[in-house]
Structure 1
């Protein structure tokens, strides 16, 4: 777990200090080329056309990562394994820094620039012109796909888990998904949903702890989070409710103090990013507690 703490801090710091270097390192075009090659070799038949054909693409990559993970864990007191773990987590993190993309939306001064910035959060077409609730949900979906999903599966499975999650996300995005047969594409989405579900539940729990617990719990229950049904739609619903509550509480505090609240542009987006940071800090604080507990014991 100490490796995870170091790697996450490095991923965040490098993304701000050397964004060009990190962007050049996080290149996933090879995966799209690998999917196209498998599609060409399948000849329109076979397992590749089936619902979980995406496994054919993932397993060889994951086996290589697992082999390296095993081979590097022993020599030199595990130092090569430590470096490998950090490199893999930094590679799977992102691919862009969420807070940088959010700031780009906030700092955009014209409609076209803002639409382009919003598109980097996954909102395109008519959705790219929206603000408020749609942006809040986009921030949390991106936080799950860029940060928390990678972190959770790295904690469970090590580098293999981080790579598994990143490949599952890539397989459902337009550039790669368009190369997959229909059934294969549906299977890739189902796999990603399975990987996302526990992450979304833990993000919601952390949101309740760093925000308004009653609001989060009520929204989570209303959105069906209590049902053991794979799906992450409740995360966006809970995030919107939590942000609304925090903005209302902030306005009430200003009113009680007899102050006029300065109107900020896109306050929902700013508050959503603040909430995501608090969730991440809580996760890292819990990791630090486990690390300290391990050292003490």
Structure 2
């Protein structure tokens, strides 16, 4: 029996217009009678908050791939893992040398949290178009973070091989001091995030299991991308969206309809409400 439903936002609950369908909202409301429902997202607190308000979710939510767990309205922090500034500076140094585009996310609770040195051009332009209100341009990222003890995270955007090599170099100089989370891939370009140690949606799940006194086999997770792969391996009911990469669909127990076809509600109907779909 499913006792906790964890849902990703982008590419999962949100359609391509960044909206939640009426069908998904209705089914989520109905399923609250059977299970706890929360969001597990890569988004920051302020970026996710409008959707949490729309859904009326007031239990702990996982933000930034598990680096932050907090209650949406009281903003009570339950779990937080920051990235040490020394590790961030090493990542920035290697990224500059390899020509990898970097974004510094300076804090968990800043509406304008994204620091960049220049405008981004490439495979992930759509991400920046949706998040321009969060972006501040600085002359030197290293200088901007040097006086801080820690930051929330760094994003690395570049060719797969170059980013993988950078992560390996970082592991050699800063072992066990960070977590690299591959978020998305478009052709040969990846969007990889560098967090503090022991970060991931699968790690955040352990915190949630402890809160509710349940085991992973009583959890349903619905997601669509590479940052969802490890938690999909851990839960009893793993669901991939039809728009997910084939690698992710192979991991999931069940594939539902796409994010544009209210796939989340179909999965909830099948595994929680017991409806044939």
Which TM-score applies when normalising by structure 2? 0.27
Which structure has greater strand proportion? 2
Determine which structure has more spread, i.e. the larger CA radius of gyration.
1
